Amino acid sequence: MTDTEATQRAGDTGSEPRIDFRTSPDRYRHWKLTVEDRVARLALDVDEDATLVPGYELKLNSYDLGVDIELHDALQRLRFEHPEVGAVVLTSDKPRVFCAGANIRMLSQSSHAHKVNFCKFTNETRNGIEDASENSGLKFIAAVNGACAGGGYELALACDHIMLIDDGSSTVSLPELPLLAVLPGTGGLTRLVDKRKVRHDHADFFCTTSEGIRGKRAVDWHLVDEVVARSQFDDRVLDRAREFAAASDRPAEAEGISLTPLERVVEADRIVYDTLTVDIDRELATATITVTAPSEPPPAAVEDITAQGTAFWPLALARALDDAIMELRVNEREIGTWVFCTEGAAAHVEAADAALLTNSEHWLVRETLMFLKRVFKRIDVSARSIITLVEPGSCFTGTLLELVFAADRSFMLDGTFEGSNQPPATVRLTGMNFGPLTMPNGLTRLAHRFLHDPALVAEAEERVGEEIDAEGAEELGLVTFVPDDIDWEDEVRIAVEERASFSPDALTGMEASLRFAGPETLETKIFGRLSAWQNWIFQRPNAVGDEGALKVYGTGRKAGYGKERV
């Protein structure tokens, strides 16, 4: 079964179709991307009928996952294809409406799992906006030229600067609680008080009124940065965008690379990319993701890296792994354990890391580094158990060694398999393990691993470039277990079978609690609350019961609430 022929995978649940996260501007149905000099304009103009599944219309620039898949793609293209752009204006091409947020009919008819996956991907896209602002010199302006509600305002909150049109009717609002008995699903409450520093009492009023707030009060309460008269709005937005672009360090004269279509083959129990393969065992609810090292050392000179474009191995890996994660999250929801393996020449991975670190100031290399960081963060916040197997023939070096540190449990073979002529497995640290690939909590995975003794990070850094065998890796604390050939098969089998026997709900809660020790950040707050809010509130009768607010919205009937507080 080819990718284009596949409409539904054997592991899918219900009648929801398989969702493809690949798209391109010539296929957009909802966004319009234009670039002029150093300013890009990304305008929302949702096609009401272009829904992922039947049963609802995307009225008033409301969105479903398909709308956000396009937004994610557009942001990636701005990063890689338009290095000259220093500022992005997010706005609407529909009169008097910016965005009404997530489509309520879509939410009402979707499975719980789809709602959670939808909100998680949407929030990761907004995190990507903030990442580009912080690390890439790409600033975002929300030009709110009409009513802005719910997820629409959450999109604006992800931007650096919010400009609200002053036309007597346009407002910003987070009406989820009064109208739907749920909460903003993509970080709205957290960004409101943590990012924009809105006062508690002001935020309380704002989040419990469905009418929204406009004009001077919106500015005074820090809900927006400025309010501009309709007659001056477009000119003021462009002036502000040019001001932000002028301060950007993105190269005005650079030529971008083309994000060519991502090639893959999807079969019933297998997905094959150029840089990795996913094999699915449905009986054990396990996906084995095998990453392949480059066949030769990647180029070291930045001119050659640019010439390779998407064929540059670290970028090709980031694109494939990103797509594979989303495929497994959304289209293979019952596959609860991901097992990471690698194969190939560790020296070639080390060479790729050296190319990234040496040229990290170049715009394309910087974007590749940030893309890798975001992809590994997707693993961190995925509701899946992660196991890593370090065997003879593996290449867990530098960037790929992060998969060991991200795992809930890792196994490294001590010695070789009987009858094998391969040398014992080793791991190799590089500079990529000590800075570029930070977690949502802002720490490197090694710093997170050694919170109890930060000196151990320095000890590990002294071993950069060495081939470290199982005994050495265990002494340094880099792996969990180092069974020998006699015990390997049983220990790995028991770990995988045990995972498949536990409650997925309890595992999700446990993993999310254990993975982010140390400092709390905007990201960890959002994802921690996301798990709690959605896995509880989205399943409560007050929201989704027969008389729940989300179910009766638009019918004229009043929601029926159980009044007990729990």
Domain layout of the chain by residue ranges:
25-246, 265-514
Query: What does the block give as tokens for 53?
Result: 């599944």
Whether residue 468 contacts residue 459, with contact meaning beta carbons closer than 8 Å, is answered with no
The single-letter DSSP state of residue 186 is S
Give the max Cα distance, the chain. Answer: 79
pLDDT one-digit tens code per residue, 230-282: 999 999 999 999 999 999 999 999 999 999 999 999 999 999 999 999 999 99
Q: Which of 100, 237, 110, 96 is closest to 176 using CA atoms?
A: 100
pTM score, whole prediction: 0.95
Segment of 117-121, 311-315, 503-507 carrying the highest mean pLDDT: 311-315
Mean pLDDT estimate for the chain: 94
**In Å, what is the CA distance from 432 to each residue of 47, 308, 342?**
43, 21, 17
Task: Return the pLDDT at 528.
Answer: 84
Task: Return the pLDDT at 1.
Answer: 34
pLDDT of 14 above 60: no
pLDDT one-digit tens code per residue, 329-364: 999 999 999 999 999 999 999 999 999 999 999 999
**In Å, what is the CA distance from 414 to each residue of 371, 407, 428, 487?**
33, 19, 15, 10
- Which residue matches tokens 């489509």? 103
pLDDT of 8 above 50: no
Query: What does the block give as tokens for 330?
Result: 């959304």
Pairing of strands 385-390, 337-343: parallel
Whether residue 257 contacts residue 81, with contact meaning beta carbons closer than 8 Å, is answered with yes
Mean of the pLDDT values across residues 12-21? 71
pLDDT one-digit tens code per residue, 55-104: 999 999 999 999 999 999 999 999 999 999 999 999 999 999 999 999 99
Over 308-326, what HEC string results?
HHHHCHHHHHHHHHHHHHH
Task: Return the pLDDT at 145.
Answer: 98
Residue 534 pLDDT class (50, 70, 90 cuts):
low
Cα gap 75→133, rounded to integer Å: 12
pLDDT of 9 above 50: no
Please report, as a single letter, which amino acid is at residue 301.
A
**In Å, what is the CA distance from 56 to each residue of 69, 105, 106, 279, 326?**
18, 6, 6, 35, 24
More confident: 185 or 155: 155
- Those residues with Cβ within 8 angstroms of residue 513's Cβ, 6 or more apart along the chain or in another chain: none
Task: Return the pLDDT at 460.
Answer: 98
Cα gap 462→493, rounded to integer Å: 34
**What is the number of other CB atoms lying within 10 angstroms of the CB of residue 83?**
24
Least confident of 12-16, 37-41, 66-70: 12-16
Task: Return the pLDDT at 328.
Answer: 98
User: For 474, how many CA atoms within 13 A lie in the half-sphere containing its CB?
Assistant: 12
pLDDT of 24 above 50: yes
CATH topology assigned to domain 25-246: 2-enoyl-CoA Hydratase; Chain A, domain 1 (3.90.226)
Percent of the chain with pLDDT over 70: 97
Task: Return the pLDDT at 530.
Answer: 76
Task: Return the pLDDT at 411.
Answer: 98
Per the DSSP assignment, residues forming a β-bridge with 278 are 271, 289
pLDDT of 505 above 70: yes
Residue 57, judged by CB atoms within 10 A of its CB (0-12, 13-18, 19+), counts as middle
Query: Which conformational region is residue 312 in: left (phi greater than 0), alpha (psi within -120 to 50 degrees), or beta?
Result: beta
pLDDT one-digit tens code per residue, 190-228: 999 999 999 999 999 999 999 999 999 999 999 999 999
Cα gap 301→356, rounded to integer Å: 10
Cα gap 45→550, rounded to integer Å: 25
CATH superfamily, domain 265-514, is 2-enoyl-CoA Hydratase; Chain A, domain 1 (3.90.226.10)
State whether the Cα torsion 203-209-211-217 is positive or negative.
negative
Q: Do domains 25-246 and 265-514 have the same CATH topology?
A: yes
Mean of the pLDDT values across residues 126-141? 96
Cα gap 153→301, rounded to integer Å: 43
Task: Return the pLDDT at 15.
Answer: 54
Cα gap 258→397, rounded to integer Å: 28
Percent of the chain with pLDDT over 90: 90
